[in-house]
Structure 1
Amino acid sequence: MNSQAELKTEGRVARRQKRNRRSLIDAARQIMSRKGIDAATMLEIAELADVGAGTVYNYFKSKEDLAIAVLEELMHELALQIEKVTDTFDDPAQVYAFGVRTVIDTATHDMRWRQLLYRSEVIANAIFQRMGPFAIRDLQNATHAGRFRVEDPALTWKMACHAIVGVALAVTTEEMPIDVVDETVVTLLCMTGVGRAEAADLANRDRPALPKR
């Protein structure tokens, strides 16, 4: 086979692999959203994706890995939804506050998040990576506007991600009451350099509903 033919073959293989991976994530998202991660099976996901049952493991080592891939997409979509709402805000500090509260509320209520919270390190890192470009930008904007005093936005967001996952896990396992979420949001806002009273004001402002997907 000449080099040009080899390149064409490699291109076809890469495209097929990309399609298969996309199909598996779409199928997993549909099934897991309907019946939960625990009840979903790799066989039904493979059948819906129209790939061989054994082929799934060429792309994902386990159902959990596939679920994390689904959750990463949900995180990015949530960031976009938050952005649509907060684009209407005048106060850049409120933008970040709304985002933090929305993420922690989602983590404690959305079944697809709840079932993976025990993988706290993985999920916190996924939040940091997928939602970080938005949150770090919001921290920078609020700092430039004089509303926050954040020297290292990436570090601040990193710590927030771990706190969000830790508290969400404690709430969903009933180790802590749900009202600890309010205190968590205030504490995370205090990490931006604002006083407690101002943090509480930001945390308690009206929160418009997210746009429907």
Structure 2
Amino acid sequence: MDSTFGFMAPSIPLPAALAESLGVPRPGLLKRERTRLQLVQAAIRVFSARSYAGATMQEIAAVAGMTTGTVYNHFKTKEDVASAVALWLADTLCQRIADSQAGVAEGAQRMAIGIQRYIWLARESPAWALLMLDVSAAAPVLLHEIRHYALADMRLAIRQKSFRVPSEAAAMDVLNGSVAQAMRSVAMGGPPASHGRHVAACLLRAFGMEPADATEVARRPLPPFPALAAGPIKAARGRRKA
């Protein structure tokens, strides 16, 4: 590797419960998919070290141990790389959080779990949280993909009469903005460990729950992440269907 890029850390620390789902490519991927995934993983390291704005296609190639031409064979622009990173983050981290909600029937509790998991990630791995915030600004597809999961939980809570919101779109903006700011605050070392629970309670109240009910739901223990099923990690190719 060119010494110009020697500042790169070998990896970005991630909580053990999530690390396996974002690990090295598993057997079963075609060569082109494996190369694409390696480029996405290299881009994650470059974006984390340089920020999206400061990263270059040449740096991504160098960190991946490939030529710049190989990068352009898979991605026409840096924006395309950011979109691929966003889709990969959504299809892995978001799905992992959704897996931990399996068996939870209450939409309000599912929402509280999701809120707290993202803030938990910011506390456990600030670099990943800041990376997600940076990529979401460069590639809105990340928020679009996350929205599928959160909106389903919100609609379930509305059907169950737990939430009463005048507008789904407005409620989702409140959710996205509040969680993103909470992640940023926690990643920068500000609020105490109880911050995720308090943010969840505030948001449940904002969506129409009675204060005591919102507090009770937000205080429930977070369910553990289930064991990861064996199978190949897919390289991000395109937008998942709604």
CA distance in 2 between counterparts of 1:55 and 1:31 reads: 13
- Residue 61 of structure 2 aligns with an amino acid whose one-letter code is L
CA apart distance, 1:137: 1.4
Structure 2: which 5+ runs fail to align? 1-30, 229-242
- Distance of 2:185 and 2:210 partners within structure 1: 26
Contact preservation (8 Å) 2:94, 2:146: yes
- Pairwise CA distance, 1:138: 1.2
TM value normalised by structure 2? 0.63
**Aligned residue number for residue 109 of structure 1:** 124
* Per-residue deviation, residues 117-155 of structure 1 (Å, max 9, x unmatched): 3566447x4453011112111111111111211232233
1:117 maps to a residue whose letter is L
**Greater mean alpha carbon deviation, residues 185-194 or residues 65-74:** 65-74
Specify which structure has the bigger relative contact order, considering alpha-carbon pairs within 8 angstroms and separated by 6 or more residues.
2
Q: CA deviation at 1:180?
A: 2.9
Structure 1: give runs of 5+ residues left out of the alignment: 1-18
Q: What is the alpha-carbon distance in structure 1 between the residues aligned to residue 159 and residue 137 of structure 2?
A: 31
Larger Rg computed on CA atoms: 1
Give the length in aligned residue pairs: 189
1:42 maps to amino acid: I
Deviation at 1:24, TM superposition (A): 5.3
| Deviation at residue 35 of structure 1 after TM alignment | 9.2
Is it true that 1:201 corresponds to 2:216 in the alignment? Answer: yes
Give the deviation of 1:84 after TM superposition: 2.7
User: Which residue matches 1:83?
Assistant: 98
Tell me how far apart the structure 2 counterparts of residues 80 and 101 of structure 1 sit (CA, whole Å): 15
Cα 1:183–1:129, aligned 2, differ >3 Å: closer, same or farther? same
TM-aligned CA deviation for residue 203 of structure 1? 1.0
Match of 1:27 in 2: 38
- In the alignment, is the contact (CA less than 8 A) between 1:108 and 1:169 conserved in 2? no
1 CA distance for matches of 2:135 and 2:97? 24
Q: What is the identity percentage for the equivalent residue pairs of Structure 1 and Structure 2?
A: 23
Partners of 2:99 and 2:60 lie apart in 1 by 35
Distance in structure 2 (CA, Å) of the matches to 1:53 and 1:204: 49
Is 1:152 paired with 2:167? yes
Conserved 8 A contact 2:39-2:71? no
Contact kept in structure 2, 1:37 and 1:67, CA below 8 Å: no
- Partners of 1:162 and 1:144 in 2: CA distance: 24
Q: Cα distance 1:112–1:195, how it changes in 2: closer, same or farther (>3 A)?
A: same
Which among 181, 184, 204 is matched to residue 166 of structure 1? 181
**Offset, 1:98:** 1.2
More helix by share: 1
Aligned residue number for residue 129 of structure 1: 144
Any idea what the Cα deviations from partners look like across 1:48-89, whole Å, max 9, x if unmatched? xx5x31442572644x87356324322232332333332302
The one-letter code sitting in structure 2 at the alignment partner of 1:89 is: V
Q: Is the 8 A contact 1:117 1:165 kept in 2?
A: yes
CA RMSD of superposed structures (Å): 3.3
Letter in 1 for 2:133: L
* Structure 1 runs, 4 residues or longer, greater than 6 Å off: 32-36
For the residue of structure 2 that corresponds to 1:164, the secondary structure is: helix
Do the aligned partners of residues 141 and 155 (structure 1) sit closer, same or farther apart at CA in structure 2, a change above 3 Å counting?
same
